[in-house]
Amino acid sequence: MHARLLALSVIAFLSAASASIAGTLADATFHSKALNADLPVNIYRPDGNPPDNGWPVIYLLHGHDGDQNSWRDLGNIQKTLDGMIASGSIRPVVVVMPGVKNSWYVDSADVGGPGDYETALTGDLRVHVEKTLPVRKDRQGRAIIGLSMGGFGALHLAYAHEDLYAAVASLSGAIWQNVPATDLDKTPAELKLIQDSAFFHRVDRTTITSGIVLPSTGDHFSGSFGTPFDARRYNEQNIFTTVAQHVVKKQDLPATYLTVGDDDGFSLWRGAVALHETLQADNRKSELRITDGDHVWDVWKVSIIDALKFVDREWDGKGLQATVGSN
The string of pLDDT tens digits covering residues 65-83 is 999 999 999 999 999 999 9
**Confidence at residue 200, expressed as pLDDT on a 0 to 100 scale:** 80
At 1-33, the pLDDT tens digits run 555 655 555 555 555 555 567 999 999 999 999
Percent of the chain with pLDDT over 90: 83
At 234-270, the pLDDT tens digits run 999 999 999 999 999 999 999 999 999 999 999 999 9
pLDDT tier for residue 181 given thresholds of 50, 70 and 90: very high
Higher pLDDT: 312 or 204? It is 312
**Confidence at residue 197, expressed as pLDDT on a 0 to 100 scale:** 80
From residue 176, give the alpha-carbon distance in Å to each of 86, 151, 221, 266, 304.
37, 11, 13, 11, 21
* Residue partners of 309: CB distance under 8 A and separation at least 6: 84, 89, 90
Domain boundaries, the chain: 2-176+236-326
**Confidence at residue 202, expressed as pLDDT on a 0 to 100 scale:** 72
Q: Is the pLDDT of residue 186 over 60?
A: yes
CATH code of 2-176+236-326, in short, is: 3.40.50.1820
Instruction: Indicate whether this model's pTM tops 0.95.
Output: no
The Cα–Cα gap between 225 and 178 comes to 13
Average pLDDT over residues 305-314: 98
The Cα–Cα gap between 191 and 251 comes to 32
Q: Is the pLDDT of residue 126 over 50?
A: yes
**Confidence at residue 102, expressed as pLDDT on a 0 to 100 scale:** 98
- Provide the residue count of the chain: 327
pLDDT tier for residue 320 given thresholds of 50, 70 and 90: very low
pLDDT tier for residue 326 given thresholds of 50, 70 and 90: very low
